[in-house]
């Protein structure tokens, strides 16, 4: 048996030995259904916090969009992970009261429309020399802004 065949056979055995490794991961922290059923429009933020706990994500620039989510992912050795289940509950507040409740699952994933608007950066465009050489001479070894002789 040649070395090439021996290496091929050992790689094949190694791949089949590891391919039976199956992992099921649960990510996120979705509140139980009995708590979600008690959630309704008009509740205060404090009531929602007491009922569902802290959200997984506070979206947007204000704290008026709370997101609770969880997912179940199957991983098998070297294969691409597969998402088996996903639940998302988004709670929107207006004047510190629940104004909207959105519930989504993995089946709804393709129904979400991606907005193509872009946010322009407010900084002005830097030239080549400023971009690559603008920090030259500004390095401070100890980072305290004082002259090293003052230490």
| Per-residue pLDDT, 29 | 84
82 in a domain, yes or no?
Answer: yes
CB atoms within 10 A of CB 96: 12
Instruction: Supply 108's token pair.
Output: 């709804």
35 in a domain, yes or no?
Answer: yes
Tell me the pLDDT band of 16, cut-offs 50, 70 and 90: low
CA–chain centroid gap for 31, Å, is 18
- Domain extent for 100: 21-108
Instruction: Write the CATH number for 44.
Output: 3.30.1450.10
Identity of the highest mean pLDDT range in 26-30, 74-78, 89-93, 115-119:
89-93
74 in a domain, yes or no?
Answer: yes
**Residue that has been written with the tokens 């959630």 in this structure:** 39
| Per-residue pLDDT, 79 | 83
Q: What is the average per-residue pLDDT within 118-123?
A: 70
130 in a domain, yes or no?
Answer: no
pTM of the model: 0.59
Q: 46-103, pLDDT tens digit by residue?
A: 999 999 999 998 887 788 999 999 999 998 878 888 889 999 999 999 999 999 999 9
Task: Count the domains in the chain.
Answer: 1
Cα(135)–Cα(102) distance, rounded to whole angstroms? 47
31 in a domain, yes or no?
Answer: yes
CA–chain centroid gap for 2, Å, is 49
73 in a domain, yes or no?
Answer: yes
| Per-residue pLDDT, 78 | 80
Q: What is the average per-residue pLDDT within 111-132?
A: 72
């Amino acid at each position: 048996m040649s070395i090439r065949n021996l290496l091929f056979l050992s790689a094949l055995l190694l791949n089949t030995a590891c391919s039976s490794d199956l992992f099921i991961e649960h990510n996120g922290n979705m509140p139980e259904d009995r708590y979600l059923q008690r959630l309704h429009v008009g509740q205060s933020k404090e009531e929602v916090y007491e009922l569902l706990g802290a959200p997984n994500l506070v979206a947007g620039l204000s704290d008026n969009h709370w997101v609770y989510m969880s997912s179940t992912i199957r991983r098998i050795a070297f294969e691409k992970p597969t998402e088996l289940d996903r639940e998302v509950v988004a709670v929107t507040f207006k004047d510190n009261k629940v104004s909207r409740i959105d519930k989504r699952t993995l089946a709804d994933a393709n129904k979400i429309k991606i907005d193509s608007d872009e946010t322009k950066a407010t900084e002005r465009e830097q030239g080549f020399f400023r971009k690559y050489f603008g920090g030259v001479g500004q390095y401070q070894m100890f980072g305290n802004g004082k002259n090293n002789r003052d230490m």
